[in-house]
């Protein structure tokens, strides 16, 4: 464990929010190395977990877990989540008899709020949890992290239809990596292809947002105004994220899933 100085020094997941961005990037490097080492020894799902490391760090840096609830879909992308939520020393037992599960498991940790595997169940579970919180006056957030392959499931769209009109404190994050077991197919996949933009656009968008943020007093309001104008334009043109906004959601994106600053900025929006 001495090869992972940042991981060993963390005092609970809440301490991540106090790290600098440079430290968070080093933390991401340690997580990747630790996951690769463990999966090489025990087997498991490698690629999905390497793809959500920065997103997992950003979620923990911007939310109060386990009070705020996070549900993974598919469940096997939860390795970084397990490591950062008080299971670092146990992680080498992943998928071993008596060890950690390769999926979220409610009996394993309070941070795992729903048992998920394959697939398309996260939004439905999150809707039920968020609705229950609303009925109890609980203002904490419920977050569903769903992949583009899982989004094609009928249960996911039924839940989106319900959630968009309810007004509960619910955030749905689409992890659009263009892959599930194989390339996603069908109408949903074709629509998501239209949402994707070039890396050049995402980089330019990030640069201009960072420049605006540095302008005293007017920077943040300008960013919010531009985001509102972009949403109205999409709805008028019926393009981009309009399908989600017509279901009642506010759509932000696309966001570079490996850019910690951009991820945290949008998660705080």
Q: Is there a domain that residue 216 lies in?
A: no
Percentage, residues of the chain above pLDDT 90? 59
Whether residue 214 is contained in a domain is answered as: no
Indicate whether 91 belongs to any domain: yes
Indicate the pLDDT class of residue 104, thresholds 50, 70 and 90: very high
CA angle 134, 63, 258 (to 5 degrees): 130
Q: How far apart are CA 269 and CA 217, in angstroms?
A: 17
Write out pLDDT tens, residues 175-207: 987 655 545 545 555 555 555 544 555 666 677
228-237, 240-249, 259-268: which range is least confident on average? Answer: 228-237
User: For 149-172, what is the mean pLDDT?
Assistant: 88
249 contact partners, CB below 8 Å, separation of at least 6: 160, 163, 164, 172
> Of all helices (H) and strands (E), which one includes residue 180?
none
Range of the domain at 115: 5-196
Please report whether residue 73 resides in a domain.
yes
The CATH number for 121's domain is: 3.40.50.970
The DSSP output letter for 170 is E
pTM, two decimals, is 0.80
Looking only at the bridges linking them, the beta strands covering 142-147 and 69-73 are parallel
pLDDT tens column, 62-87? 999 999 999 999 899 999 999 999 99
Report yes or no on 112 lying in a domain.
yes
CB of 125 closer than 8 Å to CB of 116: yes
Does any domain span residue 212? no
Structural contact between residues 76 and 101, judged by C-beta atoms closer than 8 angstroms: no
* pLDDT for 245 beyond 90: no
Q: Does residue 167 sit within a domain?
A: yes
126: in domain = yes
DSSP-derived pairing of the beta strands 170-175 and 69-73: unpaired
Dig out the tokens for 177 from the structure. Answer: 């990596």
204-240 confidence digits (pLDDT tens): 667 767 776 777 766 667 666 666 666 555 544 445 5
| pLDDT confidence of residue 236 | 47
End-to-end Cα distance, the chain? 36
Section 88-113 average pLDDT: 97
What is the number of domains present in the chain? 1
Contact yes or no for 113/70 (Cβ under 8 A)? yes
Coarse DSSP helix, strand, coil percentages of the chain, rounded to the nearest 5 percent: 55, 5, 40
pLDDT at 156 over 50: yes
């Amino acid at each position: 464990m001495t090869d992972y100085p940042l991981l060993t020094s963390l005092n609970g997941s809440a301490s991540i929010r106090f790290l600098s961005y440079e430290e968070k990037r080093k933390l991401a490097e340690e997580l990747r190395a630790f996951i690769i080492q463990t999966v090489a020894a025990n087997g498991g799902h490698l690629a999905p977990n390497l793809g959500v490391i920065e997103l997992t760090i950003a979620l923990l840096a911007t939310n109060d877990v386990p009070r705020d609830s996070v549900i993974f879909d598919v469940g096997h992308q939860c390795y970084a989540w397990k490591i950062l939520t008080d299971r670092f020393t146990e992680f080498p037992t992943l998928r071993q008899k008596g060890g950690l599960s390769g999926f979220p498991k409610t009996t394993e940790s309070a941070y795992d709020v729903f048992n998920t595997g394959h697939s398309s169940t996260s939004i439905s579970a999150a809707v039920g949890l968020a609705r229950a919180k609303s009925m109890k006056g609980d203002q904490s957030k419920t977050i569903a992290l769903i992949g583009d392959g899982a989004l094609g499931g009928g249960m996911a769209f039924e839940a989106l239809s319900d959630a968009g009109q309810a007004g509960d404190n619910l955030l749905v994050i689409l992890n659009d990596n263009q892959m599930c077991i194989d390339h996603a197919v069908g109408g949903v996949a074709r629509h998501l292809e239209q949402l994707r933009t070039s890396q050049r656009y995402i980089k330019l968008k990030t640069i201009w947002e960072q420049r605006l943020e540095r302008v005293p007093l007017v920077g943040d309001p300008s960013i919010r105004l531009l985001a509102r104008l972009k949403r109205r334009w999409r709805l008028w043109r019926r393009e981009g994220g309009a399908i989600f906004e017509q279901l009642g959601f506010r759509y932000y994106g696309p966001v570079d899933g490996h850019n910690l600053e951009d991820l945290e900025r949008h998660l705080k929006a």
